[in-house]
């Protein structure tokens, strides 16, 4: 059922697609696929947001904090996209949400809140499955999101 595949410095087993086909009527599989698709949409939205926010940064420290998160979000998007394609055999179809902000400080506060929400979502998704490949993807995203929130909090509180 598994073979190892290397993506973005991580090894993920490759599924035999028959696993999904055999369990297609299983609501937990549908919920996991929805969670992965939501992760894809969320990460793509964050990439758009952080690209614009980095341009609005007032200092190099602010820009570096945003760019660090931006690179992680790109990894998450690739990981979730590859996972979705592996599980379904299809490319994901999703929409991105545009996050608007008036200035860098407002944008950073929004980013901080979104990172905390993403952490909680990925934590819940991680706990909702026993599959190691899916858990690994959510775990990596979960830990990165809380790190981003901490970095953003530091920048917000710096006078």
CATH number of 4-157: 1.20.1260.10
What DSSP letter does each residue of the chain carry, written as one string?
A: ---EEEETTEEEEPPPTHHHHHTTT-HHHHHHHHHHHHHHHHHHHHHHHHHHHHHH-SSHHHHHHHHHHHHHHHHHHHHHHHHHHHHHSS-----PPPPP-SSHHHHHHHHHHHHHHHHHHHHHHHHT---HHHHHHHHHHHHHHHHHHHHHHHHHH--
Reported as a single tens digit per residue, the pLDDT across 108-154 is: 999 999 999 999 999 999 999 999 999 999 999 999 999 999 999 99
**pTM for this structure?**
0.84
The stretch 28-46 carries a mean pLDDT of 96
Reported as a single tens digit per residue, the pLDDT across 42-88 is: 999 999 999 999 999 999 999 999 999 999 999 999 999 999 999 99
Which of 21-25, 62-66, 89-93 is predicted least confidently? Answer: 21-25
């Amino acid at each position: 059922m598994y073979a190892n595949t290397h993506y973005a410095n991580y090894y993920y087993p490759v599924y035999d697609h028959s696993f999904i086909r055999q369990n297609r009527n299983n609501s937990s599989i549908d919920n996991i696929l929805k969670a992965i698709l939501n992760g894809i949409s969320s990460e793509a939205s964050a990439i758009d947001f952080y690209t614009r926010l980095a341009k609005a940064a007032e200092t190099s420290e602010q820009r570096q904090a945003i760019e660090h998160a931006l690179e992680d979000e790109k990894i998450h998007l690739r990981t979730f996209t590859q996972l979705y394609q592996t599980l379904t055999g299809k490319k994901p179809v999703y929409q991105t949400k545009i996050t608007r902000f008036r200035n860098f400080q407002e944008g950073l506060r929004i980013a901080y809140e979104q990172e905390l929400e993403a952490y909680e979502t990925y934590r819940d998704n991680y706990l909702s499955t026993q599959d190691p490949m899916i858990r690994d993807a959510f775990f990596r995203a979960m830990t990165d999101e809380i790190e981003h929130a901490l970095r953003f909090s530091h920048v917000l509180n710096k006078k």
